Chains A and B, each alone.
Chain A
Amino acid sequence: MSTPTDRKPSRPSGTPPEGNGKFLLGMIGLFFGVLLLGAGATMWLGGSSSMGPAIGGPFALTDTGGKPFTDKDLRGSYAVLYFGYTFCPDVCPTTLNQLAEALDRLGPKAKLVRPVFITIDPRRDTPGVMKQYVQAFSPDLIGLTGTEAQIGSVAREFRVYYAPHRTGDGPNDYTMDHSSVLYLIGPDGKFIAPLRADAGAEQIAADLSRHLP
């Protein structure tokens, strides 16, 4: 399965000489385009949540008990959302563990925040699989799955990129590519800020406490 980054910029090998000017112009355009994109992403991670289209929104998912769970079930507390999958033994558990440690560092304020893990691999991550997975981290960690459509919808709302990558011929021979960001949501359900997922527990705790009362 091909992902956007798998594609190499292709140009016919026999490009005529008169095409070079256009090609150069195109490259310059591309360069500034990438620059703009980079600046946008930097500002976005810098916490300027007021910029650009809204992030987040209503969702309808399924909890680890197989019961419906919507965005309204999080109202009244802060929530930190992380999108990943349980068949990931490296980045996802590292992030969830650092989030748990960050909450520990917050002391009594930690009870204001509910950590939520949303799978982007609903095919394998059934409520039962999610239950076993989140229980091993913390009794407070909420695990959510859903139909492909439900997961697609919540991922779109939060600008989460995800795509399967085949590693073999078997039905389960794939890994998931996914963006890795922590999303802080307020008690009113509105998105507050993205937090760096790879910053370490101490930094995540510092980032969180800036937004907590």
Chain B
Amino acid sequence: MTRVFLRIVAAGLLSVPFSLSSAAWSDGPIQVTGAFARAAPAGGVGGMFLTIVNTGPADRLTGAASSVAEKVELHESIDDKGVMKMRPVAGLSIPAGATVKLAPGGYHVMMMGLKQPLAAGGRATVTLTFEKAGQVEVEAEVVKPGAGAPEGHSMDHNMGHGMGNMPGMTPSK
């Protein structure tokens, strides 16, 4: 539990120069925790799942990018009466003070055209872009394909600011 496997580098345009040179966690209102990506071969697609904790005003996740993939999108999985559908979403609202989970069966960061394999035990990095908080770099642990959150990492650790989970504030899914 003491191992910090996430590094939030930049949050907010003004804080960028400070955040880049500072330690693991941003002082910005947006923190990302519990990030994991599923192992996938080069050329394939990878899904990354994470929890966004917003201790500040309402914000919006508008996109993601990564050097390991040709294209990165935000996707939603939908169970439509037994038919599984996956759809790109333009953005995801992050209400003030909310905890929003991108979890299997719901939302994920979709890494398409992987330039290198995502190997279990390794790391994958994406940069999330928020309307207000700017860019937030997230480093995720790569777990075996199809697996859930890595063992031993509670989704609640490193939440900081005492906000914890706020059910009902997450997007419906």
Contacts and interface: CB of A to CB of B under 8 A. Distances in A.
A198 B79 contact: yes
A177 B87 CA distance: 10
A186 B31 CA distance: 50
A90 B108 contact: yes
* Interface size grouping (class) on chain B: 20 to 34
Interface in A159-203: 161, 165, 167, 172, 175-181, 198
Contact of A136 (B41, B84, B88): B41
B146 A97 contact: yes
A101 B161 CA distance: 37
Given A89-B110, A132-B44, A167-B88, A98 B146 contact: yes
B41 A89 contact: no
B84 A89 contact: no
Nearest to B42: A132
Contacts, number: 93
B43 A136 contact: no
Given A91-B105, A97-B144, A97-B145, A136 B87 contact: no
Interface string B19-40: 0000000000000000000111
A119 interface: no
B85 A177 contact: yes
5 contacts: A88-B84, A89-B47, A129-B44, A132-B44, A177-B80
Interface of B: 38-41, 43-47, 73, 75, 77, 79-80, 82-88, 104-105, 108, 110-112, 144-148
